Amino acid sequence: MTLHQDYPSISLSDTQACVLYYKALINYVDSHLKLHAERILARYYSSQSDSFQTLTFADIDRMSINLACQWSDLAKEVHTISYIDDHSVAYLVVILAAMRLRKTFFLISPRNSQLHVTELLRKTGSKMLVTGKKYEAISQHSAAQAGEVHVLTITETDLDKWIHQPLELNFEDILNLEFSDNDIERSALIVHSSGSSSSPKPIYLSNRYLFYHLSQFYILIKNRPHLPQIGLEDVMLPIVPLFHCFGFFVAFTMISVGGSVVFMEKLPPSQNEINSALQINKVTMLCCPPIILEEMIPYLKQTNNFDAVQRLKYVIFGGAPFKMESGDWLRSHKINVRNMYGSTEMNGFLSSNLDPNSKTWNSLAPFRFDPQGESYGIFETVDESQPNIKHLYVRADCPTLATNISNRPDGGYDTDDLFREDPESPGYYIYLGRRNETLIMENGEKTNPLPMEATIREITVVKQVVVLGHERKCTSALIELDATKIENLQEEEVIESVHEAIELANRDCPSHSRILLEMVKVLPLGQTIPTTDKGNIKRKNAEQMYQHVIDELYDNFLNGSNKASCDAQSEEYKWTTEEMNDFLETNIAQVLRISKSLLKNHSQSIFDLGFNSLYAIQLRNYISKRFSKVSHNFLFENPTIDSMRNGLLQKEQPMIYTKQEKGYKNTQKLATCYIKQARVDFDPIVRTNYVAKEQVVLLTGATGSLGSFILECLLKDSRVKKVYCCVRGKQEDLKERLANSFKNRLLDITLLNSERVKVLPMKFSEQYLGLGETRYHALRKEVTLIQHCGWLLNFNMSLEHFDKECISPFYNLLKFAYHQQNPIHVHFVSSVSAGVLLGDTIEEEPYPFDARIAMPLGYAQSKFVVESLLNFMAKELNFPCFIERLGQVCGDTKNGIWNTSEQYPLMFIGGGSWMHKMPKLETGIDWIPVDFAAASIVDIMLNTRSSSTKVAQYVYHIVSPQSLKWCDILQSLTLAGMSFEVVDVEDWIKELIQNEENPAYRLIPFFEGNLRQTFKMPKWKTDKTMQATAVLSHVPALDVELFTKFLANWESTGFYNPSL
């Protein structure tokens, strides 16, 4: 078809019809340039006349046709034309000229370095570079480096020449005016990414994309007659450049409605220049980044002149978060400020409610829907610890996507942008920032700083904030104050406001992410946090700029225990019991921000109140100010106020042996207690030969590493009819947590899209396991197998803590499984640590009833207690209990995903990478990859479903049959690319203690208590286990190939930096 000279009534409201009719955007634009020929299109500032000049639609039409004709010979063999210059009316003419040449036109931001311009020219194969005079030098150098690129310079006087040139009479012969369906997906423009986190990359935009790009106001405004409409009389002031998609959108939208566009002399303009432009041009719409609006508020307060801004139908912002307080102030002064969201990759996609009467001015809702009315955008949870934080991804069939932009296996697009649903406007979302801002803490935990920063930034006195903590033990925050907001405040009032902001931010974040007040630094006035032009934080720049301040902040906190007062020892033994209790209550209450009245139960564990390792450091620091020689593990060994008080008042610290002996006695006592209770609660089992053909499994720990792989194996086995997964968390988040655990481990997530998977809340401490009586009894009849894989993995916690959190709930699960005839088979994942001190060789049989065979850790002791209980139930009650003793599990063999919070990953990275030293150990290695461990366990579960534990084997060892030495592991690490020396354990621990930033620092208590005790790891027999499962005999060797995968995975998550 030829260039359209007629003006059909096809509207961008029906975008697809426009696409099919016009084929190419230049075809559509050309028809509108002619339709509105006599109207004013461009209002641009001229420095020569010191006033705004105007150009009509016909002027722009003629100028762009002439320029295209002039360049036609130069561009004949060129596929891509690039352009680098400042935003101006000339920029608009050049874009239209290039589009008329039917070339792919690349808009290069002038903010790029010469290196980046060269890279972009090479990547796009551009052979023609148009440049403004200002950027001629960088363009010439970049073209020379890229090779065979012709540079064409536009001068300031060229615009005047273009204005006065008559129309080229032969333009129809020179330019290609034929359009076909092939033009629809042809790349018309290239716009590059910002390059703020890496080199800018070109993004190709088809004609189809550009039609949908211009449809935004048609969907949001034209289709809603009750809203203020935009049309012929409207004037748009964009304070965003044309080389940005936002700027292109607003300028070309005004072409489509017959309105006009104001071009400022420079961007960003001053507030005086903005006000002048608004008044002179009678502007009715303004589009800008939020920082412009933040700067506008003090200007309006000073001038008290609201006429120009109150005339605006819409003030659209985007690109960065905007303070609620600021937006509310503008709205209170009758300024209709509204938020829109999109990106080059996916187009405009979300918008606030544009109705001036709506209070939903900031939060965003999707406006791109398929023919069935379903949104093309899906909000998904990415971090199960923060289920209210959503990531937006765009479906593969969305027509607004840029060319070849897919980054998901299903063809969809991950935006990497995070949102939180607006509690006051369901269905609307508050933009938080980028997902790649996630901080990887030194213990492998992840912190999303964006919602925390957004909350803190809302406080009046705070101008900007950056939350830090990547590869650190805890988070911290740098605060930039707003000088205009604190002029009349006392210092105490300012600090109080900042502390209130921190508390608000801590309210909704995971406990490991909370910012302690000791870790907040308020910058002196005049010091600023670096941001982008849009107002987004430059996190890495901030870290570099304030490196000394940040290091000092962490040093003061983490080394607080070394700074006890000089007279501490003279004070230690003068305390009364009452004074000590009050001292501990006061400091615990201060750490937890709770009332002392809640701490009157001195036998209650502080960990039941929400304490974690971070709070333990804080409390230990407080205690160390008055008491010397407080061990790293003091609070874990003494978790109650009673035990803390007794420990601090004790004149001599007990020997390690004495402590361990006391712990073993407590373990023996607890195991005996549970066995006695079982004699009362359970009668001996009477079995029949009934075996279910299809198994219904109840699985715990399904969101953990081993549990996820077990679930995948179960779902791939046809003998399994259904799996009930018991998951911790809110009911509405459980399925998503399960899905995220599969995604994070690159497992087959399609297996979860089945009726074979049911998710239940894990509340085993509650009556009827928290399921309700009816469902409880129904499941008791349906379930045939239980696999209890879920257990607290913490080497610092005491046995008492494990009893409450793990053992007692498991006992309730045994009650659920009990039937006097055909009870549910119960499988329990134990640990080799529960019997590691038994001898040189451990047989596949029950342990003797002696707690001294377990490691002196709450974790190991808790596993011993459960094994003792199950041994009794199997032997005395004929209960079908099966124990899978799990050895050290490493990452899977396919992707090398190994939890970074575990002891060996922390040791490898903290020792081998950070310190370049690894400890010399005399230990055998029988580690098993998690995928093989899971497959072995599932094999055993399904192969023993008809077994009686009275006569059959019921203890299995899930370890590698292939035994290696520690030196073999170190050699594989070296061959995989890590460089280190091997040192004695004592020297290794001493150096680790001096390096609080080291990710392995958090496990010092564990290393001190275990690495120093030299013993040879026993040999775990696997003969009987290999008879029950053939999988075990195929476990691969732990070699350089596997370690290469481990390191690659850790590097991809930021846990490992090979350049250290």
SS3 call for 250: helix
Helices assigned H by DSSP within 129-263 = 136-146, 158-164, 171-174, 207-214, 216-217, 245-257
In three-state form (DSSP H/G/I as H, E/B as E, the rest C), the secondary structure along 310-370 is: HCCCEEEECCCCCCHHHHHHHHHCCCCEEEEEEECCCEEEEECCCCCCCCCCCCEEECCEC
- For position 566, what pLDDT does the model report? 36
Least confident span in 229-233, 548-552, 802-806:
548-552
Least confident span in 228-232, 283-287, 489-493:
489-493
**51-109 confidence digits (pLDDT tens):** 999 999 999 999 999 999 999 999 999 999 999 999 999 999 999 999 999 999 999 99
The DSSP result for 680-723, as a single string, is HH-PPPB--S---SSEEEEEE-TTSHHHHHHHHHHHT-TTEEEE
Tokens representing residue 23 in the block: 């084929």
pLDDT over 70 for what percent of the chain?
93
- For position 445, what pLDDT does the model report? 65
- For position 562, what pLDDT does the model report? 46
Q: Which domains does the chain have, with CATH numbers?
A: 1-214 (3.40.50.12780), 438-558 (3.30.300.30), 561-653 (1.10.1200.10), 684-773 (3.40.50.720)
- For position 903, what pLDDT does the model report? 84
Residue 846 preceded by cis peptide, ω within 30: no
- For position 4, what pLDDT does the model report? 46
**433-447 confidence digits (pLDDT tens):** 777 677 866 655 667
Angstrom CA distances, 116 to 129, 133, 685, 1025, stand at 14, 19, 75, 59
Tokens representing residue 38 in the block: 């006599």
Phi (first) and psi of residue 335, to 5 degrees: -110, 115
Task: Give the separation between CA 62 and CA 64, rounded to whole angstroms.
Answer: 6
Strand locations in 714-812, DSSP E? 720-727, 757-761, 785-788
CB atoms within 10 A of CB 691: 11
Helices assigned H by DSSP within 546-576 = 547-558, 568-572
- For position 691, what pLDDT does the model report? 66
- For position 690, what pLDDT does the model report? 58
pLDDT (mean) for 451-473: 87
pLDDT over 90 for what percent of the chain?
56
Tokens representing residue 133 in the block: 């005079």
**652-683 confidence digits (pLDDT tens):** 555 555 667 888 899 999 999 999 999 999 99
- For position 651, what pLDDT does the model report? 58
pTM for the model: 0.55
CB atoms within 10 A of CB 565: 13
- For position 561, what pLDDT does the model report? 44
Burial of 943 (0-12, 13-18, 19+ CB in 10 A): middle
Least confident span in 282-296, 405-419, 547-561, 965-979:
547-561
CB atoms within 10 A of CB 556: 13
Better-predicted residue by pLDDT, 185 or 690? 185
Least confident span in 385-389, 777-781, 788-792:
385-389
Q: What is the mean pLDDT of the chain?
A: 88
Within 13 Å of residue 608, how many CA atoms lie on the same side as its CB?
18
pLDDT for 730 beyond 80: no
> Residue 286's closest CA among 256, 258, 257, 311?
311
pLDDT for 938 beyond 50: yes
pLDDT for 36 beyond 80: yes
**732-746 confidence digits (pLDDT tens):** 778 888 988 898 888
- For position 652, what pLDDT does the model report? 53
- For position 939, what pLDDT does the model report? 94
The H-or-E segment that residue 298 falls in is helix 290-303
Confidence of residue 2 (pLDDT cuts 50, 70, 90): very low
